[in-house]
Amino acid sequence: MRKMTRTALRSTSGLALALCMAVPAFAQDGGSGDEQASQQDGNTIVVTGLRRDSALQDAPVAITAFSAQAIEDARILKPSDFINLTPNVNLVETQNAGNAFVIIRGITQARNSEPSVATVVDGVLQVNPAQFNQALYDIEQIEVLKGPQGALYGRNAIGGAIVVTTKGPSDHLEGSVTAGIDNGFGYTLRGGVSGPIGDSGGFRLSGSWQDTDGYIRNPYLGEDADPVENLSLRGRLVFDLSDNFELDLRGSLDQLRTQGFYFNIVGDVNDTSLPVRVNNAGIDNRNIYNLSAKLTYQADGFTVTSITSYDTVDEIITGDAFDFLPTDEAFCALPQDYCFSGSTDLNQSQYLDVEAFSQELRFESPSNQDLFWMFGGYLISTDRFISTGNMLDLDQGVFPVYRVPSTNPNNPQYSFLSDTQDNFAWSVFANLGYQFSDQFRVDGSLRYDHDHRKNTTETPDAWLGYINYIASLYGAPQSAQGDVRTRNFSAWQPKLTLTYTPSNDMTLYGGYSRGFRSGGFNQTGVGTVALANNFVGVGDIFEAETADTFELGFKSQLAGNMLTFNGAAYTTLSKNSYFFVYLPTNSTQNLGNVPKTRINGLELEATLRPHPDIAFNAAWGLTDSKIKSFPDAGSIGNEAPLISRTTFNLGAQYTPQLFGDSVDGINALFRVDYRRTGRTWWDVPNSTVRDPIHLVNARAGVEFDNIGIYGFATNLFNEKYNAEFSPGGFVFKARPRVFGVEGTARF
């Protein structure tokens, strides 16, 4: 078996003003694999997010990268942990586990939309946004590439790409286990074990378990609104089938049991005064399964890689509905005949079931030659089912509704919609780069994506009465079970980058790129209902989005590589960006399009390590957006929804050896990170804006004899804020302070 070397990478967590400093990533040994970064010497870090090996400081793209050591030091256990360390990138968590929206450089995401970034785990593209927000454990490296990467990663790379590499098999038996408790009251357990299989293979098994009562109190029920039970497991087998063939098999599961829909209704997103008071705790049960196989053939002049993947995601959510108050206090949103004591309230159920099969085949040249080339193709077939519905809340609880309307007399069905989607997408791509001299390089990429989408109405005719009534008023076509809608979405995605390296300490780059994100279908009859309720920009179909970006950037190393200072400026024209609309009359969550938005941005970063044990960081990003075209002329000039104007990071880390040289092998860790997220607009009319939020995380501990003991706190000063605001006044509380202790043992 080829020698498995560990990668090492510095975490360049942030962009800062010219006088600020950002913590560098800490190089260390790690696993192997063609998607990983590796340490070439004491000062150079190599990343592969550009589909070829490149020194981090030479890579002509804005990348924030986290090594295994940086991931451990910062206690990165979920996507929000590394996103909060990355400038001009935010994560909005709301409603349920599968609804976590990445906003990157002003390219946004919303419920039921395609992601704003391509997320690639061990070379396999995640196919559903409901997969993104899951546990991170036993991770070797994370790279966040900002700006359209569609020419390299295709589907959904309109805002960037997130490349995650898990730890691979080792050539000797090794492992680790971490256990902890927090103020939930909760406990966690995570770890992994790895070793060889004969002379030509290796294995790695890893897992994570979290169990907590929760952190957000519901005084009405006398319990927390956000309990979590989360089991996540992953296994990898790597075999050298011959001198030229390597097979990498991967399987994973993530089973989550929690709750959702614990909204409040307020007029101002900054209003955090109301406690959660839903009278139905409900459920949010999500299951994610993945199987993948990567086969690599390496010849003297080229490499062929085949990646095959099968994914399933299913999530059932139940809970209270508008206005998320106990039945005896709820506003009666029902027809007058229903507004009598005991049935004036609604609860709700949503069910999502997605299966996907994908295949990628690519051919590429060695990355260490002047001429680099790569070409290939990708296809994906997706089957998706979604149902939504309201039930009458008779104070008997809320019961899940899956594929057919409920007949439960204790929770009678009030409204019901369901649809299936059969989608097939394919793409072809080619990349070509040439190193003309030590100072000048040109890279060009081109990709064509074609997405065929088919939507079938599964709602029984008996439940389409309201939609058809509204349609009759507006002369629109009637809906019926079995109705089929089809639509094709396609686009070319070019990318051109020029790189100039006047010295070993300076890299200048600039270029143009286009990103593409497919359109899709809202649920049956949405367009007519939106029209009847005066919602503009929302129809039965939401259009595909494109984003054209011009970018200029620089990367520099100063003071003998002790100081790193990088920056980038960009302008993006987004066409048909998404926005979210909830239609209470048929209880549907829908997407609309903003025809044209201009986004201008700036990022600056610096890293400083004045001493091997001391590091500082700061990061600053600016995103200025303006709506240039919209059906409602009064919204032109507004900020685009979900975008935060600025992000700012500060941090410090100190890793001394305790007691000088008197006690060998005992080291300490002291780390603090500060994140300021600027003013955030939430809807097209800009009806409310969230004030800046300030979060501080801290971690401290000691390590000795392969044992570590640490204390940690997230949101140390218990900042109270709402994580999301949705049109209609829906706000979703953010998690308060969480603190605890944990211990790690390695062998």
For 297-334, how does the pLDDT look when each residue is reduced to its tens digit (9 = 90+)? Answer: 999 899 999 999 999 999 999 999 988 999 888 776 55
Above 50 in pLDDT, residue 7?
no
Amino acid at 464: L
Mean per-residue pLDDT, 430-440: 95
Radius of gyration of the chain (CA): 26
pLDDT at site 528: 81
- Average pLDDT (613-625) is 95
Phi, psi values for residue 57, rounded to 5°: -75, -15
Contacts of 740 (CB under 8 A, 6+ apart): 180, 181, 182, 183, 186, 711, 712
pLDDT of residue 524: 81
Write down the pLDDT at residue 151. 86
- Rounded distance between C-alpha atoms, residue 705 and residue 701, angstroms: 14
pLDDT of residue 696: 98
Q: Bigger pLDDT: 395 or 475?
A: 395
- What are the tens digits of pLDDT across the range 436-468? 999 999 999 999 999 999 999 999 999 998 888
- Cα gap 443→513, rounded to integer Å: 11
Q: What does each C-alpha distance from 479 to 116, 385, 414, 485, 590 come to in angstroms?
A: 32, 18, 18, 11, 18
Top CATH class of 38-339+362-440+449-485+492-746 equals mainly beta
For the cut 90, the answer to whether the pLDDT of residue 563 exceeds it is: yes
What's the mean pLDDT in 402-423? 94
14: pLDDT confidence band, cut at 50, 70 and 90? very low
Specify whether the CB–CB gap between 24 and 607 falls below 8 A.
Answer: yes
Q: Nearest Cα to 278, choosing from 216, 363, 335?
A: 216
Domain ranges across the chain: 38-339+362-440+449-485+492-746
Which helix (DSSP H) or strand (DSSP E) does residue 516 occupy?
Answer: strand 506-517
Tokens standing for 699?
A: 């971690």
Mean predicted confidence (pLDDT) in 456-485: 90
Mean pLDDT of 683-704: 95
Distance CA 733, CA 67 (A): 31
Q: HSE (CB half, 13 Å, CA atoms) of 206? A: 25
